[in-house]
Amino acid sequence: MRLAILFGGASYEHEISIVSAIALKKVLKLPLTFIFLNAEGEFYHIPIDKMKSNHFSSGAYKKDDRLRLVRGGFEKQGFLKAKRLEGVDVVLNLVHGGQGEDGTISALFDFYHIPYIGPRKEASVLSFNKWLTKLYAQAVGIQTIDYQRLSIDSERTIDCDYPIIVKPLRLGSSIGVSIVKSAKELDFALDVAFEFDDEVLIEPFIEGIEEYNIAGCRVGDEWILSRIEAPQKKAFLDFEQKYLDFSRTESVSEADIDLALEERLKASFQRVYGSLFEGALIRCDFFVKDGEVILNEINPIPGSMANYLFDDFEAVISKLSSHLPTQRSIQPDYRYIHQVQSAKGPKIG
C-alpha cells in the first residue's frame, strides 16, 4: 500500500497539521508521498527529505512541484504535458480543523473519486460542530455534559453556575478556549472565543473528573481499538500543550482501570463510530463521573492520527486502507429525456 499524506490547509490548526505530518514521517515505514495544501488552496508535492517545519514557514515549498486534482488522484505539469503523480494508492487526510474536518476535503476527494482515509462529509459536519456532536451523541445514546450555545449577537446571559468553560463552536486544539471562574471574567473570555467563531459553547467546568482517550476504526466486521489512555495533564490542556501533544510518536501506557469500565468505554466508542465514521480512524475523548461515561469530544482527524495509542499503527493504517467505503456509481441513461422527446414527436429543424 502506497500512502499519500495530505496536510496543511486554511485553518487555525494549519501549523499543527504540519507537525502531525512530520510525526507520521517518523512513524510510518511504508512508501510515503507528502502533499501540502497551503492557505491559498494550492497543492504541492513535498520531497520527503524536505519535510521539516522551516520548509513551510519560510515559503520554500513554493519551489516544489505544484499539483492539481484530477479524477482518481493528482497530477503535476511536466515539460510538455501533465503527468500523473505516481506511487499513490490512498490519501490520508491529515488536515486538522477547517477544510480537513468540516467536510471540504472529503467532498473534494469524493468528487474526484480519490480513495482516502478520513471522515466522510456527514461525519465531518457532525463532529466539527460541537453542538451537532452533542445532538449526535444523544441520538446514539451517549451522555454529554450540559451546555449552552451563544451567538456573537445574543445576550451574554449564562444559565449555569461558575466556573464554566467557553469554547468556540467549530475549532479544536483548545484554541480560543477559556476557563471562567466568575462573572467578571466572562466578557473577556467571550471576546476571545468570538475572535475565532461566531458561536460558542458554554459548559460547566467540572473539577477532578476522570478523562480517558481511545482511538480506533472498524475494518469490515472487525473492530480495531487502541489502548485506553488516561491523559496525565493539568486540569486544562492549553494550545501550547496540545501543540506538543500533536507531535507524539512514543507509545503511552494503558490506563489503570477495571475491566468493567474498559468495556463501557469501548462500547461507547463503538456506538459513536457506528457506520457514520466508516473509512476514518478517529479518537474519542470521554469523561467518567460517578461511574457514568460521558462523551467530551470526537476527534475525526486526531493529532498524529493517535499513532501513540497503538502497538502496530502501520498495520492499522494498512488494514483500514484496504476496506474503504466505495461510492455508488450513478450513470444517467437519459431515459426520461428520450421519453419526453418521443412524446413530443420528431424534432423539427
Does residue 83 register a pLDDT over 80?
Answer: yes
Q: What is the pLDDT, as a whole number, of residue 42?
A: 97
Does residue 249 register a pLDDT over 90?
Answer: no
What's the pLDDT band for 239 if we cut at 50, 70, 90?
A: very low
Least confident stretch, 48-57, 111-120, 228-237, 311-320: 228-237
Question: Three-class SS of residue 265?
Answer: helix
Q: What is the pLDDT, as a whole number, of residue 126?
A: 96
Residues 6+ apart with CB under 8 A from 255: 212, 227, 228, 229, 230, 262
Q: In this structure, which long-range contacts are made by residues 189-195, counting pairs with CB atoms below 8 Å and at least 24 apart in sequence?
A: 190/150, 190/156, 190/166, 192/166, 193/166, 193/167, 193/168, 194/152, 194/168
User: What span, in angstroms and rounded, lies between the C-alpha atoms of 95 and 36?
Assistant: 9
Q: What is the pLDDT, as a whole number, of residue 246?
A: 54
If we measure between CA atoms, which residue out of 146, 5, 169 comes closest to residue 87?
Answer: 5
**Mean pLDDT, rounded, of the chain:** 91
If we measure between CA atoms, which residue out of 248, 281, 222, 224 comes closest to residue 90?
Answer: 281
If we measure between CA atoms, which residue out of 192, 202, 139 comes closest to residue 166?
Answer: 202
**Average of pLDDT values for 343-349?**
61
